[in-house]
Structure 1
Amino acid sequence: MTETTKVPSDYISFFGSEPQNPLIPTNTNEVNGGQVIENIFTGISQYTPDGEVEMGVATSVTPNDDSSSFRITLRDDWSFTNGEKVTADSFINAWNWAVRPENAQLQSAFFAAIDGYADVAGETDEEGNVTTEPTADTMSGLTKISDTEFTITLSASDSTFPLMLGFSAFAPLPSVFYEDPEAFGEHPIGNGPYMMDGDDAWQHNVSITLKANPDYPGSTPAKNPGIAFIAYSSPTTAYADLQSGDLDHMRETVASEAYPVYTEDFPDSHDDRPYAAIQNFTIPQDLPGFGPDEEGRLRRAAISMSIDRQLVIDKVYFGTRQIAEDFGAPTLAGGLPDIPGKEVLTYQPEKAKALWEQANEINPWGGQKFQIAYNSDGGHQLWVEAVTNSIRQNLGIEATGKAYPTFKAMRDDVVNRTVGSAFRSGWSADYPSIASFLVSNYRTGDSSNDGDYSDQEFDALLADAASQSSPEAAQPIYNQAQAILMRDLPQIPLWYYAASTAWSPKLHNVQSGWLGMPVYTEITKDVD
């Protein structure tokens, strides 16, 4: 740890990085801020380590006959850490605030299924231009019955909607939030198993420290006094601290160069569990040569088939990853689907070169450089270099990585649409459904659709899948939607993640959850 990092000796320290934004649930769509949000807030429901849904603040979520409306019943004994009761208003007000366009929340699209969403959010076209101004301040689909009951009415049936309610964007907010959202984002007040540890809990670019919430009434109270996320410049530095005893846990993955040795370095304190996440990179729709046309499709397919994924997995990750065959993750319910067109994700260097030349006949590539942007503090350099080497060798073009010093710096350019290149864009599920991958990343205008992909047929299939009576009935329709993605390749899937991680032998009850992250509340620590 750095000299300025001060963490109580009985707290458990984890590898981390500076969050992109202030710590507001509906404006946090990346892992470093997300890990804090998920520990200091508890929603209507929550997810078990195996990805099953269980009740959180709610005692029940009851659908009507066609899953177009849900009655939420809350516990009456739950409070925020400032003493304010968690009530129906805590949810209703937070969701309405998130949708109002002047608040510009990154996660606002998660509420799009609720009736009246467009009346509050307004409507935009595919280019983001406002076509319909907002006409209301609150969504008509949210109706308070009492302090402990409210209903959610959707604009259409959606059997997967209850799965979403454990995601942090649906967290409740205390009334103090609305007095100064900016200040709240620096010192958030939640209702989860942990709370911010004092006024200086967030030391920017250094650490975020959380302490156990002593009044937490839920089923997952912290069994340790506190946790800390330490902002490292690279996983390599963090792994060195783990070896020296100055860090307790590498979180979801060790440094790339540690893959050959981490099981030997930590023979009794490591894990390599697959989890619901995928590594890919996004090629923006407005990147020259890669637009939504025949040239763009040819070049995207050529890029994908020029990559020797297994070679990269073997050399960089020592065989601990699985080649991607879809745009989701095989650990989700239903396993790995057989998607038409998935051969575009296989290594076919000769065909890749032929497709690239076909694209050149439409519009010559010239001396352009193909780059993949990545953050240097996340351990991505080795795989980006290996992938771009494969592209360069097989397509005969200049291809390189484009390094950003921090995750925040890269994400700022991605969100502001100023990155000017392809960029790494791994995704972990927000909730246990393939919809979490497909809707957030590829639906027109959605919250994490950072490449600005848009296809009307794809959007219609997502809506059709959501209207089905069960996730099982929706699966074949999601498969059809994925076939469109195989054709268009808005992102290039590479491999599925595994929690290849290690921790100090002083820790006990350590396990990786369904998203590859430690189950923080369960871990205990021997203290000298």
Structure 2
Amino acid sequence: MKTNLLLSTILSMSLAFPALAAQVQPGETLAENQEYTYWLLDAIKSMDPQINTDVEGSGIMRSLFEGLYNEDQNGGLVPGVATDYELSEDKTVYTFHLRDTAKWSNGDPVTAGDFVYAWKRLADPATASEYAWYMELMQVKNAAKIIAGEAPVDDLGVRAIDDHTFEVTIDAPLPYFPKMLTHSSVFPVHQKTIETLGDKWTEAGSLVGNGAYVLNEHILGEKVVMERNPLYWDDANTVITKATALTINDENAALTRYLSGELDRTQVPAGQYPRLKSEYPDEAISVPQSCSYIYMFNVDTAKGPAALQDIRVRKALSYAIDRDIIVNNILQGGQAPSYNWTHAATEGFQMPQIDYASWTQEERTAKAKELLAEAGYGPDNPLKLTLNYNTSEAHKKIAIAVQQFWKGVGVDLTLNNMEWKVHTDKMQNQDFEVARYAWCGDYNEASTYLDLFTSYSGHNNGKFFSERYDELMKQSKTAADPNPMYTEAEQILADEMPMAPIYQYTKVEMIKPDMRGLGLNNLMQNWYLKDMYRVAN
């Protein structure tokens, strides 16, 4: 016997609108120009939903593809390809009902089989997806065994009951499971196109998607151009006709192009928000974003430096960073200094009491010197390390500041700047000592952060391992209240220090005042091009 769990939010939205698409408010008049041009810091590594790992890439995935559910302007769930679902009494079997009007951009119907294919593809070791672990985090039946190569991919707990009914079986009840369905890694893909074209299926002119937009042009490291998909099931309520994303590695150059009218949205360079807010009060914004900025330590026993195997060294490196200088003097965009991993605004998260967070910086620096001396390092025998970071003026400024902080406690730090793709490739191969890293939540729940440092994570690039940590995170999946486990897991990270937390994000941007529907009230800062529009001046 199954119980219908049609969410009240979904019900109200589906009754009022065909979908939560662009909603022009009373008194607003649409502008004649409905094109949108925005900034990307780095090249998009892949247009494949099961391969993409970038936050910027995810925004493009949400335009070219559509999953079971989307998010509204405040982060709530609204229908995507699924209109509703049923949940079994034991809360382990989800039955999703798919709309029969959903089509691929080549005219084929979107079916439950497309989701089965995509989810199996994500879990299949042959795909080599960094997000394969996401299937395991979702508790999809047999995912862990399949990812480990211990079971065939066809054993994954997904099936198409018919073309418009998709069933998922999970190992144990997971209250936040529906939230996880908005992530791009679980979007459907077009099987025939992939099997026909192989790796070339993601090229402009070849990519077949089911989103509100199609890929018109992609010049790697230069630009991505998307245009309205007339076959999208809700095209009638889509307004933006064309979107162009320009890759500009220099934030100051991007700001110049924004001010000259070439861009409609760009990131504010470090330290410039106060001035820009004063000069352009209707365009400069700073809103919370669920992301944490860290320096990850390579503690891999085979590839990492021996010094970083010592907890005292890792703690000293973290303690010596003056986070207040970074957020108040360098960034100046409302960011918060961080002494833990999970973003403080995460829904339901209870911040643990981490000792060094309450110390003065003088106390932290003194303790850093003491720990390094115990480990055999100091002014006469400096610890030599290299920091990798990807191209960005803000990353560079922070790196230079940390270089000085660490010099003061007896560390000789070499800075190594590189392109994003090279940077991430090196991290994935443990070819680094210390690396600039940031994680943005995949959904609004603490596990999206804490699962990353498990031994089975696809993103634990520093190869930190704690048997107790793994145990806690596995137990949290079936706990009535996982918060005590999350608190203990955070304490393990503070005690073991596999990374140095630095700050928690805000989204600090310049946005043209005629833009609407950007989802700025959504903590995840997930935006949907189909929800956006321009108003007349």
What's the counterpart of residue 391 of structure 1? 406
Report 1:501-516 matches (<5 A). Answer: 501-508=509-516, 512=520, 513-516=522-525
Q: Output aligned runs, 1:250-289, within 5 Å.
A: 250=266, 253-286=267-300, 287-289=304-306
Residue 69 of structure 2 contacts residue 78 of structure 2 at CA under 8 Å; is this kept in 1? yes
Structure 1 residue 174 corresponds to structure 2 residue 198: no
1:154-303 map, 5 Å = 154-175=170-191, 176-187=193-204, 188-197=207-216, 201-218=217-234, 221-250=237-266, 253-286=267-300, 287-292=304-309, 295=310, 297-303=311-317
In the alignment, is the contact (CA less than 8 A) between 1:345 and 1:493 conserved in 2?
no
Distance 1:336 1:391, change over 3 A: farther
Match of 2:374, SS state, is helix
8 A Cα contact 2:271 2:333, kept in partner: no
Change in 2 beyond 3 A, CA 1:411/1:335: same
Give the TM-score, by structure 1 length: 0.87
**Residue aligning to 1:421:** 433
Structure 2 residues not aligned, in runs of 5+: 1-31
Distance apart, 1:504 and its partner CA: 2.9
Which of 81, 98, 119 is matched with 1:95 structurally? Answer: 119
- 1:374 partnered with 2:393: no
| Structure 1 counterpart of 2:318, one-letter code | S
Cα distance in 1 for partners of 2:536, 2:430 equals 47
Deviation of 1:193 after TM superposition, in Å, equals: 2.2
1:114 to 140, 146, 151: 140
Deviations 1:419-456 (A, max 9, x none): x22111111111111111111x2111312111112212
Cα deviation for residue 134 of structure 1 reads 4.2
| Structure-2 change in CA distance of 1:333 and 1:493 (3 Å) | same
Q: Which amino acid aligns with 2:447?
A: A
Secondary structure, in 3 states, of the residue corresponding to 2:416?
A: strand
Q: Percent identity?
A: 21
Task: Indicate if the aligned counterparts of 1:61 and 1:72 stay in contact, CA closer than 8 A.
Answer: yes
Structure 1 residue runs of 5 or longer lacking an equivalent are: 1-7, 124-132
Whether the 8 Å CA contact 2:290–2:524 is kept in 1: the answer is: yes
1:422-437 residue pairs with structure 2 within 5 A? 422-437=434-449
Report the Cα distance in structure 1 between the residues aligned to 2:379 and 2:90, rounded to whole angstroms.
53
Q: Is the 8 A contact 2:141 2:157 kept in 1?
A: yes
For residues 481-512 of structure 1, what are the alpha-carbon distances to aligned partners after superposition, in whole Å with 9 as ceiling and x for unaligned?
11111111222111111111112345455552
| 1:376 maps to amino acid | T
| Distance in 2, Cα, partners of 1:344 & 1:492 | 16
Q: SS at 1:426's partner residue?
A: strand
Please give the secondary structure, in 2, of the residue aligned with 1:425: strand
Aligned residue type for 2:430: R
CA contact (8 A) 2:339 2:354 kept: no
Report the Cα distance in structure 1 between the residues aligned to 2:417 and 2:359, rounded to whole angstroms. Answer: 25
**TM alignment of 1:294-313, pairs within 5 A:** 295=310, 297-313=311-327
Residue 92 of structure 1 deviates from its aligned partner by 0.6
8 Å Cα contact 1:371/1:421 also seen in 2: yes
Out of 493, 498, 506, the residue aligned to residue 485 of structure 1 is 493
Per the normalisation by structure 2, the TM-score is 0.85
Contact 1:39–1:194 (CA<8 Å) still a contact in 2? yes
Change (3 A) 1:409 1:265: farther
Q: Distance in 1 between matches of 2:228 and 2:423?
A: 32
> How far apart are 1:381 and its partner, in Å?
0.9
* Alpha-carbon separation, structure 2, partners of 1:192 and 1:340: 44
- 3-state SS of the aligned residue for 2:155? coil
One-letter code of the match for 1:162? Answer: P
Which residue is 1:467 aligned to?
478
Change over 3 Å in CA distance of 1:50–1:335 after alignment to 2: farther
Bigger mean CA offset, 230-239 vs 29-38: 29-38
Does the 8 A contact of 1:385 with 1:400 survive in 2? no
- 1:161-197 superposed Cα distances (whole Å, 9 cap, x missing partner): 2221111111011122232341122243221222212
Total equivalences in the alignment:
495
Does 2:77 correspond to 1:56? no
Aligned mates of 2:51, 2:127 — CA distance in 1: 9
Is 2:27 the counterpart of 1:14? no
CA–CA separation in structure 1 for the residues paired with 2:489 and 2:97: 34
| Residues 307 and 134 of structure 1: CA distance in aligned 2, closer, same or farther (over 3 Å) | same
